[in-house]
Structure 1
Amino acid sequence: MQKLQILSDAAKYDASCASSGTTKRNSSGGGLGSTEGRGICHAYAPDGRCISLLKILMTNFCTFDCAFCINRASSNVERARFSVEEVVSLTIEFYRRNYIEGLFLSSGIIKSPDKTMEDMVRIVKTLRIDRAFKGYIHLKAIPGASPKLVEEAGLYVDRLSVNIELPSDQSLQNFAPEKDAVEIKKAMADIKGSIASASEKTLQTKRSKTFAPAGQSTQMIVGADASNDTLILQRSASLYSGYGLRRVYYSAFSPIPDSSKALPLIKPPLMREHRLYQADWLMRFYDFRFDEVASATKDGMLDLEVDPKLAWALGNRGRFPVDVNRAAREVLLRVPGFGTRTVERILSARVIKSLAYDDLARLGAVMKKAKPFISARGWSPRMLDEEGLRSRFVASQQLSLL
């Protein structure tokens, strides 16, 4: 229990543990666990399901000395290490008690990347084969480990991830000189290739293999270096297009004891992290290009007072109002207050009848945001300039917080 307290606390700095995108494993013939059940909430799937995960490090001992990491070699923290058998036992026993539905496993580097990765592969292999564990498993691959070990791990886990750590290669070299940006990118490329290969049906079996069915993700620390939001989002766009990532996670830097003087002394505002997630969402699900999101920034930083979609709309007043009964899907997706589901409902409903203002609210639109940007049957907005409209939204938001 003492080890668990130390190593679960040490794992809290890794944000990339959501379990979205997995497919349910075949539970016929017995076995433990299910990604479809309910339990203690630690992460959310896109459909709103709560996914409970045992989130731990195998060890917080580490031979690397990354300046931004609480578990770096020079850090004066209490250390602990789980054996392979202890992690397996914890996972199974926590599942039996209905505490968890899956495992998120990362680790500091002990002896060598290969030795650490070997132990982590033994854990997931034992869970799947010897203990018939069918729950969700997310494994954090160790930088510098043999590609064969990472490939083997992918056969037993739902998701693999390799942390990019910082938005620029230069920052990584400055703060984590023992990590190699080229090596990290190669590991991502190898995982992408293995996922693609596994999806192809073989001539012998006529079936595809299972390799990390929930894909791969990564994490970037925000606020540890001088990178602005535009640079961060540009890096994310490159990762999505180049490596087929399911998700980039953003983690606001937390000042740590006895840290390098080059690191900031205060934590960046959490709203900055939140805005990055919103901007990332626009690129992933709303068909926004990176340059469109970047155009809504000021001096490379996202507006902390209004969300990125609203900021973009305010800066492009000439494109509005949008006629909800005629506009194409990609145009409707750019309307503040319209989510992806709302847009699909509008497209379906307007085939049957011409939509009025009140119909949009019933279809799920947030009309408080949308009404200055749309026209509908019986409704035309009063045109306000960008500053006047922005001031109104900011004032409304401040009142709602009182």
Structure 2
Amino acid sequence: MNFERIREKLNILADAAKYDVSCASSGSNRSNKNKGLGNSTSMGICHSYTEDGRCISLLKILLTNHCIYDCAYCVTRKSNDVKRAAFKIQEVVDLTINFYRRNYIEGLFLSSGIFKNPDYTMERLIAVAKKLREEENFNGYIHLKSIPGASDELMYEAGLYADRLSVNIEVPTVSGLKLLAPDKKHEDFTNPMLKVKNELIRYKNEHKVIKSTPKYAPAGQSTQMIVGATNETDKDVMYSATYYYKEYHMKRVYYSGYVPVAEDHRLPSIGSQVPMLRENRLYQTDWLLRFYGFAVNEILNDNHPNLDVDIDPKLSWALRNLHLFPVNINKAEKRMLARIPGFGMLSVEKIIKARKFRKLNWDHLKKIGVALNRAKYFIVCDSRQWEKRDLEAERIKGLILQNSNGKFRSQYSNQLQLFN
């Protein structure tokens, strides 16, 4: 084996894979069997996350950065002048096993540029996973990036060996896809998603009857959108995400701010990278939709097409709906408690349990862990220390920002003087 050449390939193909953020591995419970190597149960994978939530515990590489397509936003586009490389199937298998044995990784995230055609590429990705499972008895986590346009038969086979499958929708809108990736069709992405969704449903139903039914993609499927490569609004992004969650039963939708990789008149200019804070606000909105009972049109609509940069989306919603507040935390239903700024779902559950025994006051809320610097403007409880309720939205916003440690604090310091 030419170790220097393998090292060179690894440098090239690991670097090319950094633009894909959808590599979290939650949801799988593939356990070790037959004295194999590794496992992907909740206690078997120790994740490490960067500040913006990216998972860094997997061997994350491309099989190749050669590609037949010329998508404007992609660093591996065929017209881009970059150094090219490709792994052999066995090389990826060996790297995964050797890195796992050295405790460098806990699993594999494998994507690829497209050789020849989608099916040929998908076959090679599956071959890596199949060798790991059947020849190396590897029970660790495997995430395969499904190739747009791959056949139903290959998508089915991929799910037998991978813990998670994902097809990146890439651009949130159909019109944006036509502009930036004219070689691709929207159905190239949605057809594999539909196949995975149907197979997951079929597995769930069959497993109820036959417990030995082979697992199929136990961690489900996910997708990723590039944000900021076209002029889509946050409303466009989140309405698309809601559609994929509903129609294709996505486990996660990931949002990746566009990183300029080449000069192209269809793209934002070099140096105009999407702020990380926009990604963060989209993830916060995603969280509210999935766990807090919000509907997307409550947060984003024609009157409010983009998220506020300086405050989180829940606080923004509350300030636009002050007629619903203050909320009595000793009487309000769970749904409304979850909508109070500064209240997380864990705090909501604690409040519901605690108020069965007594009325709660500020001290109780502090012990529960509520962020009172935000919540106090929107609630009443069994205390009288703070009962001023005639504040307008901008005044509340300014006070909250004044008391926060965020980078926007100074922006509102002059504004606050006007109110004092």
TM band (smaller chain): over 0.9
| 1:42 Cα deviation after fit | 4.9
Alignment partner, residue 403 of structure 2: 396
Alpha-carbon distance between aligned partners in 2 of 1:122 and 1:66, rounded to the nearest angstrom = 26
Letter in 2 for 1:229: D
Alignment partner, residue 271 of structure 1: 277
1:366 aligns with 2:363: no
Alignment partner, residue 418 of structure 2: none
Choose from 185, 197, 208 the match for 2:190.
185
| 1:203 Cα deviation after fit | 8.7
| 1:194 Cα deviation after fit | 0.6
Choose from 4, 11, 29 the match for 2:10.
4
Alpha-carbon distance between aligned partners in 2 of 1:350 and 1:207, rounded to the nearest angstrom = 45
1:172 aligns with 2:177: yes
Choose from 59, 62, 71 the match for 1:66.
71
Alpha-carbon distance between aligned partners in 1 of 2:50 and 2:24, rounded to the nearest angstrom = 5
Distance verdict in 2 for CA 1:316–1:299, change over 3 Å:
closer
Q: CA RMSD in A?
A: 2.0
Paired residues of 1:216 and 1:246 also in contact (CA < 8 A): yes
Paired residues of 2:227 and 2:256 also in contact (CA < 8 A): yes
Distance verdict in 2 for CA 1:294–1:175, change over 3 Å:
same
| 1:262 Cα deviation after fit | 1.4
| 1:26 Cα deviation after fit | 2.5
Paired residues of 2:361 and 2:382 also in contact (CA < 8 A): yes
Paired residues of 2:373 and 2:403 also in contact (CA < 8 A): no
Alpha-carbon distance between aligned partners in 2 of 1:333 and 1:204, rounded to the nearest angstrom = 38
| 1:21 Cα deviation after fit | 1.8
Distance verdict in 2 for CA 1:132–1:337, change over 3 Å:
same
1:115 aligns with 2:115: no
> Aligned runs of 1:84-233 on 2, under 5 Å?
84-201=89-206, 205-233=210-238
Paired residues of 2:66 and 2:86 also in contact (CA < 8 A): yes
Letter in 2 for 1:395: Q
| 1:39 Cα deviation after fit | 5.0
Alpha-carbon distance between aligned partners in 2 of 1:52 and 1:180, rounded to the nearest angstrom = 33
Letter in 1 for 2:24: A
Paired residues of 1:19 and 1:51 also in contact (CA < 8 A): no
- Give me the identity figure in percent: 46
Paired residues of 1:40 and 1:100 also in contact (CA < 8 A): no
Alignment partner, residue 357 of structure 1: 362
Alpha-carbon distance between aligned partners in 1 of 2:23 and 2:136, rounded to the nearest angstrom = 23
| 1:206 Cα deviation after fit | 4.2
1:14 aligns with 2:58: no
State TM-score, norm by structure 1: 0.94
Distance verdict in 2 for CA 1:377–1:226, change over 3 Å:
same
| 1:248 Cα deviation after fit | 0.7
Secondary structure, aligned partner of 1:250: strand
| 1:29 Cα deviation after fit | 2.2
Paired residues of 1:321 and 1:381 also in contact (CA < 8 A): no
| 1:209 Cα deviation after fit | 3.3
Alignment partner, residue 261 of structure 1: 265
| 1:397 Cα deviation after fit | 3.3
| 1:264 Cα deviation after fit | 0.3
Alpha-carbon distance between aligned partners in 2 of 1:203 and 1:232, rounded to the nearest angstrom = 36
| 1:205 Cα deviation after fit | 3.3
Deviation digits for residues 221-264 of structure 1 (CA, Å, limit 9, x no counterpart):
0000010001111111111111110111000001113x311100
Secondary structure, aligned partner of 1:200: helix
Letter in 1 for 2:360: L
Secondary structure, aligned partner of 1:337: coil
Alignment partner, residue 41 of structure 1: 48
Letter in 1 for 2:297: D
Structure 1: segments with no counterpart, 5+ residues: none
Alpha-carbon distance between aligned partners in 2 of 1:155 and 1:186, rounded to the nearest angstrom = 18
Secondary structure, aligned partner of 1:274: helix
Distance verdict in 2 for CA 1:229–1:369, change over 3 Å:
same
Alignment partner, residue 393 of structure 2: 386
Structure 2: segments with no counterpart, 5+ residues: 1-6, 411-420
Distance verdict in 2 for CA 1:123–1:399, change over 3 Å:
closer
| 1:299 Cα deviation after fit | 4.9
Alpha-carbon distance between aligned partners in 2 of 1:399 and 1:244, rounded to the nearest angstrom = 35
Alpha-carbon distance between aligned partners in 2 of 1:155 and 1:346, rounded to the nearest angstrom = 43
Secondary structure, aligned partner of 2:231: coil
Paired residues of 2:70 and 2:77 also in contact (CA < 8 A): yes
Secondary structure, aligned partner of 1:325: coil
Alpha-carbon distance between aligned partners in 2 of 1:15 and 1:99, rounded to the nearest angstrom = 19
Alpha-carbon distance between aligned partners in 1 of 2:179 and 2:24, rounded to the nearest angstrom = 29
State TM-score, norm by structure 2: 0.90
Distance verdict in 2 for CA 1:129–1:43, change over 3 Å:
farther
| 1:98 Cα deviation after fit | 0.1
Choose from 22, 36, 46 the match for 1:31.
36
